């Protein structure tokens, strides 16, 4: 039971200092590196250098402080961890976290706070390198985001690196680029006496960290379904192959992707001959309120939906409430590196409780950080996907097509804004967090000129310390809306960074719910 673990770590550091001369160590240049539970401990070592209660045992005349910390996907705030949608099993009294502190986290918040590395952050903490995969099924990425924001706010040098598509270790963490980054971090922080203080965020993909086989041709640009999306969804046994039985899409699509007819799809086969560019879907959106059957090509299995119209395909998450129909509906749009499963599911689980049908599609920026960013966010392709979702929702008997709303975070906010630009009469209300507009065309965010067309009531939520999408970008949107007398509200949360949808999750949900209610989304 805690604090035995941190006491052992600090005792080991003091022992090394006591024997530094014997082992030719420099006692002024110690670094620590750990992953998962080890990531939790090294982060705690880094922030608790001045917490004397954790220093027990021998060599107490020596310091247990370190000069550099590399934290791989370690928990940092247990109360946020166990209340993150999809990770609630960690809130039970049988969870590893409960065993660590001696009871269920939410029933022992004081004990949990004592374990949290962010509890002890101070300005004299050592530099941090934090690395986390955004598909981590064990520790949510908000744990690393929270630590990074706390360090940055306290002016501690910190580098937060997101590996898009990576889980709890494994592919994405073993590549040369990550090893070089970690090596460079320790070289700079332990071998240099003049390393600068900085707050840096960077990205890579799991695919980019795998060493390519010799003779493999360079991959060209693709416009179809990315292999990462197919494998992440359907490669159940993680063997690098998707069989006919595993594939969850339409049978005709499998036949087209299975180019050699052997009953399975592989990366090499998929990448060797990209399918032709998808043509815009031939969709005639039903009139608002129409309650005919869902559009042809739409399939729903559990919470997973697919849609196909010729070569154009989409997929995502769909949830609807029990009870009387028809319901209002909300389009949920994920940000860079997220997807319908990771982002949409946790938002939909809350919003379906409001009595809303929820649809979350995958966009071109799902699970990626590379490529041409002008094709992400509010690109023509993503707006087409969002418009298709509205048409699908209007075609469903369980949806009142006159009461449609949209919510998006970050690049998903760009999509939400772009949808409001192109379909001004299609939405009753919209809400965004960590998002805004750009001064000119040609970016992932809609331009100021494009925003002039918006007539949809907008709620804008932004962290005051957001360095990913600057608060000025939502302020610029508000200025345009105010000028055109479009109903809107904007909240700037002091001290909050980019992941405001996670760090202020309860408050964000409350404000979005209130905004939709104010715009009569919930009233027939």
Q: Could you tell me the residue ranges of all domains in the chain?
A: 4-77+116-209, 227-272, 298-518
For residue 197, give the DSSP letter.
P
Domains 4-77+116-209 and 298-518 share a fold: yes
For the stretch 208-258, pLDDT in tens is 322 232 333 333 333 345 676 677 767 778 888 888 777 766 555 666 666
Check pLDDT > 70 for residue 286: no
Tell me how far apart the alpha carbons of residues 218 and 267 are, in angstroms, rounded to a whole number: 13
Residues 6+ apart with CB under 8 A from 336: 164, 365, 368, 369, 376, 410, 411
pLDDT at 11: 97
What secondary structure letter does DSSP report for 341?
Answer: I
- Please tell me the predicted confidence (pLDDT) of residue 269: 65
Helix, strand, or coil (residue 416): helix
387 with 422: CB under 8 angstroms? yes
Q: Which residue has the higher pLDDT, 174 or 358?
A: 358
Mean pLDDT of 423-451: 89
Cα dihedral 102/105/109/110 (nearest 10): 20
Mean pLDDT of all residues belonging to the chain: 85
Distance CA 495, CA 359 (A): 31
Segment 251-271 mean pLDDT: 67
Number of H helices, E strands in the chain: 17, 16
Which of these, 213, 129, 118, lies nearest to 163 by C-alpha position?
A: 129
pLDDT of residue 245: 75
pLDDT, average across residues 26-55: 96
Rounded CA-CA distance 255/275 in Å is 12
Side-chain-side CA neighbours of 493 within 13 Å: the count stands at 20
pLDDT at residue 293 in the model: 53
- The distance in angstroms from the start CA to the end CA of the chain is 54
Assess whether the previous peptide bond of 155 is cis (omega < 30° from 0). no
Between 441 and 65, where is the model more confident?
65
- Whether 285 and 391 have beta carbons less than 8 Å apart is answered as yes
* 63-77, 140-154, 372-386: the lowest-pLDDT one: 372-386
CA distance 20 to 28: 10
Instruction: In whole angstroms, give the CA distance from residue 236 to residue 217.
Output: 27
Among 108-117, 466-475, 494-503, name the one with the lowest average pLDDT.
Answer: 494-503
Rounded to whole angstroms, the maximal C-alpha distance in the chain is: 81
Report domain 298-518's class.
alpha beta
Residue 149 has pLDDT above 70, yes or no: yes
For residue range 310-356, list pLDDT tens digits in order. 889 999 999 999 877 899 999 999 988 788 888 888 899 999 999 99
Q: Residue 295: what pLDDT?
A: 79
pLDDT number for residue 372: 52
pLDDT of residue 112: 95
Task: Please state, in angstroms and rounded to a whole number, the distance separating the CA atoms of residues 187 and 129.
Answer: 12
* Whole-number pLDDT of residue 192: 73
273 has pLDDT over 90: no
pLDDT at 217: 33
Whole-number percent of the chain with pLDDT over 70: 85
Cβ pair 400, 468 in contact under 8 A? no
C-alpha 331/C-alpha 210 separation (Å) is 35
| pLDDT given at position 80 | 94
Give the single-character DSSP code of 340: I
Mean pLDDT along residues 416-422:
95
In the chain, what are the helix, strand and coil shares in percent, each to the nearest 5?
A: 35, 20, 45
Query: What DSSP letter does each residue of 476-516 carry, written as one string?
Result: HHHHHHHHTT--EEEEEETT--S-HHHHTHHHHHHHHHHHH
At the fourth CATH level, which superfamily is domain 4-77+116-209? Answer: Alpha/Beta hydrolase fold, catalytic domain (3.40.50.1820)
**Low-confidence winner among 69-73, 86-90, 289-293, 501-505 (lowest mean pLDDT):** 289-293
Q: How confident is the model at residue 195 (pLDDT cuts 50, 70, 90)?
A: low
Contact (CB, 8 A) for 411 and 376? yes
Is the omega angle on the peptide bond into residue 447 within 30 degrees of 0, that is, cis?
A: no
E-assigned strands of 63-146?
68-72, 128-133
Distances (CA, A) of 423 to 189, 205, 290, 450, 485: 51, 33, 17, 12, 18
Rounded Cα–Cα distance for residues 275 and 260 (Å): 14
Q: Is the pTM above the cut of 0.75?
A: no
Q: Kind and range of the H or E element at 361?
A: strand 357-361
Task: Provide the pLDDT for residue 194.
Answer: 57
Query: Residue 282 pLDDT > 80, yes or no?
Result: no
Question: What is the spatial distance between Cα 479 and Cα 448, in angstroms, rounded to a whole number?
Answer: 10
């Amino acid at each position: 039971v805690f604090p035995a673990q941190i006491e052992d770590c600090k005792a080991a550091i003091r022992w090394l200092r006591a024997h530094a001369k014997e082992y030719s160590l420099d006692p002024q240049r110690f670094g620590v590196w750990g992953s998962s539970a080890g990531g939790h401990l090294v982060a705690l070592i880094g922030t608790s250098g001045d917490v004397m209660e954790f220093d027990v045992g021998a060599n107490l005349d020596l310091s247990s402080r370190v000069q550099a910390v590399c934290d791989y996907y370690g928990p940092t705030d247990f109360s946020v961890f166990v209340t993150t949608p999809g990770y609630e099993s960690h809130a039970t009294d049988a969870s590893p976290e409960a065993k660590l502190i001696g009871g269920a986290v939410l029933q022992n918040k004081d004990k949990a706070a004592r374990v949290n590395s962010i509890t002890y952050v101070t300005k004299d903490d050592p530099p941090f390198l934090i690395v986390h995969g955004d598909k981590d099924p064990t520790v949510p990425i908000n744990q690393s985001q929270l630590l990074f924001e706390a360090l940055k706010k306290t002016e501690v040098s910190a580098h937060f690196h997101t590996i898009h598509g990576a889980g709890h270790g494994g592919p994405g963490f073993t590549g040369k680029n990550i090893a070089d980054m970690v090596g460079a971090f320790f070289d700079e922080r332990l071998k240099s006496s003049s390393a600068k203080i900085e707050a840096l965020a960077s990205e890579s993909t799991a695919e980019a960290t795998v060493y390519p086989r010799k003779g493999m041709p360079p991959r060209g640009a693709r416009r179809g379904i990315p292999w990462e999306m197919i494998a992440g969804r359907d490669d159940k046994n993680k063997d690098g192959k998707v069989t006919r039985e595993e594939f969850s899409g339409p049978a005709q699509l499998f036949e087209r992707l299975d180019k050699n007819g052997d009953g399975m799809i592989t990366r090499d086969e998929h990448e060797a001959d990209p399918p032709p560019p998808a043509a815009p879907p031939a969709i005639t959106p039903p009139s608002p309120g129409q309650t005919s059957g869902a559009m042809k090509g739409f399939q729903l299995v559990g919470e997973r939906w697919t849609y196909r119209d010729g070569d154009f395909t989409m997929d995502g998450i769909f949830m609807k409430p029990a009870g009387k129909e028809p319901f209002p509906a909300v389009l949920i749009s994920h940000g860079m590196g997220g997807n319908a499963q990771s982002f949409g599911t946790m938002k939909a689980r809350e919003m379906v409780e409001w009595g809303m049908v929820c649809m979350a599609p995958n966009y071109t920026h799902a699970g990626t950080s590379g490529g041409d960013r002008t094709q992400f966010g509010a690109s023509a392709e993503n707006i087409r996907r969002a418009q298709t979702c509205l048409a699908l929702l209007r075609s469903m008997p369980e949806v009142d097509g006159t009461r449609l709303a949209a919510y998006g975070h970050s690049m998903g906010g760009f999509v939400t804004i772009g949808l409001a630009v192109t379909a001004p009469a299609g939405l009753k209300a919209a809400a965004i967090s960590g998002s805004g507009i750009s001064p000119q065309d040609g970016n992932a965010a809609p331009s100021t000129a494009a925003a002039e067309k918006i007539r949809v009531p907008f709620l804008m939520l932004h962290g005051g310390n957001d360095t990913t999408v600057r608060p000025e970008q939502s302020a610029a949107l508000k200025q345009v809306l105010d000028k055109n007398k479009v109903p809107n509200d904007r909240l700037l949360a002091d001290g909050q960074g980019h992941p405001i949808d996670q760090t202020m999750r309860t408050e964000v949900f409350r404000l979005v719910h209130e905004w939709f209610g104010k715009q009569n989304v919930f009233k027939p």
